Structure 1
């Protein structure tokens, strides 16, 4: 299971690792049983029968949207006292028993493709990687990665228009140009969709050095990313006559 999880991380595929941390009989799942839930709803592994599987899948898909983790209790008890950090799902299956399943969302770090080899480009890698970004240097002829969260062009006048156009055409969520305000405006004004380019790239924090500029760019990428909703308690698993945990 963990080898499969490692392979998914290598492929930059998000997933939820579900681990049974408590099983109150009668349940078919035992403490320590695990399963992986993929974005398409596929489950690999075992955390119980149909009812438990449905509840785990439902909540795991919500967590993939929020990027958070939670403890899920699947119980036949009609009235369970709410607890912080615990999502409780009423399970009407006839087998009875209660399962506590820890759901850990594993989301790949945001990928940032950086064009250029100057001080700011190097600083983006030096600052970004310890901060949890997947910063990848890119050559002038390399297309943006389809799963990139951001493209930053820091080539200081070389191939800027072509690189920005490729990023815009690819629909990259954040496209930034490291340049002075005057030159950035001149470059982007001739581009279709140039108003989507953030230039000068980065939040205005008074940055002067290359690491400070890199920090301002990464902060802007964070500030503009979509705000996921928190995990929601989905509807309980549907009644299935005779199903089991």
Structure 2
């Protein structure tokens, strides 16, 4: 749901009734991951996708039905050899879908609206909803902030005057889910929590969907060259917040990089050190060093390779790489740290132009991020949609 937050935030502002279908779990080769969503308003307008087209029609009708009867529902879709014409995924995978009506006046609308607004602003937030469990607990929502505080409840409807705990719920349920959701938010993860049955809690097992929205990951491009301009464009396309940094003010200009979110004139290593100290880089940050000039590269990479970032790549020929590696070794950078460096940067696509080179760099970044091999899928015996992290599942025995 939070992946289409900007559009849904507008719908909330316009006072539209809508229902949202969200992918809860996937199995096998499925085109979309947990958190992917399709929303439908009262007029039949749709936004988003849960399957890339395979089951959109059926999910659309589920949303329309949810708006009519006001009931949340969970449905599974998969491929059936017994009925090739049944609604399902032609790719052979399975997906579980949670459909939640969010009309004006719904108990959870205010909480969901706050989560959508936060995500639309690019702020970190997590929204938890009951995906499977007792009927009296469905329809609630919990908005969890990075500091662990939360709004709303998963315990069903509150009394009409808004006082007291949610009817049919238990405050410990909200506290436990908030704690788990905060941990998932810290990691930028979306998935399900399975809570163990506890008579003092609700008497039945619960499955809770937690969707996390975090600010866009950063791509910092060092070296204001023509290849950097192409990389900035594709970085923005992939959803990164892109910064260009170069010590030469004549090259680091807005005219040369109109699509960059930020342009910085500073020595690369000095800028990266300041960003690291200020918490401006994290485990999702990618660093692309395109200067291929030792006086810039070596002090920059000496720092970059010791930071817990997702990717560090450096442009240059194999001869340049060997010289750079020797300089880094002489500077005291260890073997394991130097092994993190992707150099020469990018995948072997036979790239020549700046645009082709940017594509090869971006392809390597995606492969590292998603656990891909970079090999052609034709004839390969590898999953098309690898799940490198495995299912996101927390198990809580008792939260009373």
- Give the Cα separation in 1 of the matches to 2:150 and 2:196: 21
Match of 2:142 among 34, 41, 53: 34
CA 1:170 to 1:200, structure 2 compared with 1: closer, same or farther past 3 Å?
A: same
- Aligned match of 2:171: 50
Determine whether 1:119 maps to 2:240: no
Equivalent residues of 1:24, 1:99 under 8 A apart: no
TM-score by length of 1: 0.70
What is the CA-CA distance between 1:63 and the residue it aligns to? Answer: 4.1
Determine whether 1:67 maps to 2:177: no
CA 1:98 to 1:200, structure 2 compared with 1: closer, same or farther past 3 Å?
A: closer
What stretches of structure 2 of length at least 5 have no aligned partner? 1-110, 156-169, 248-265, 372-387
Match of 2:398 among 216, 237, 245: 237
Relative contact order: is structure 1 or structure 2 higher (C-alpha 8 Å, sep ≥ 6)?
1
Match of 1:196 among 315, 328, 340: 340
RMSD of aligned residue pairs (Cα, Å):
3.4
Deviates more, 1:218-227 or 1:174-183: 218-227
Q: Which digits, 9 at most, give the CA deviation of each residue in 1:74-100, with x for residues without a partner?
A: xxxxxxxxxxxxx56424226668977
Equivalent residues of 1:67, 1:107 under 8 A apart: no
What stretches of structure 1 of length at least 5 have no aligned partner? 73-86, 241-245
What is the CA-CA distance between 1:151 and the residue it aligns to? Answer: 1.1
Determine whether 1:16 maps to 2:126: yes
1:1-245 paired onto structure 2 within 5 Å: 13=124, 15-19=125-129, 24-25=135-136, 31-38=139-146, 42-47=148-153, 48=155, 49-57=170-178, 59-61=180-182, 63-64=184-185, 65=187, 67-70=189-192, 87=194, 89-93=196-200, 101-140=208-247, 141=266, 143-144=271-272, 145-146=275-276, 147-148=281-282, 149-157=285-293, 159-191=296-328, 192-193=332-333, 194-225=338-369, 227-238=388-399, 240=400
What is the CA-CA distance between 1:129 and the residue it aligns to? Answer: 1.4
Aligned residues: 218
CA 1:104 to 1:216, structure 2 compared with 1: closer, same or farther past 3 Å?
A: same
TM-score by length of 2: 0.46
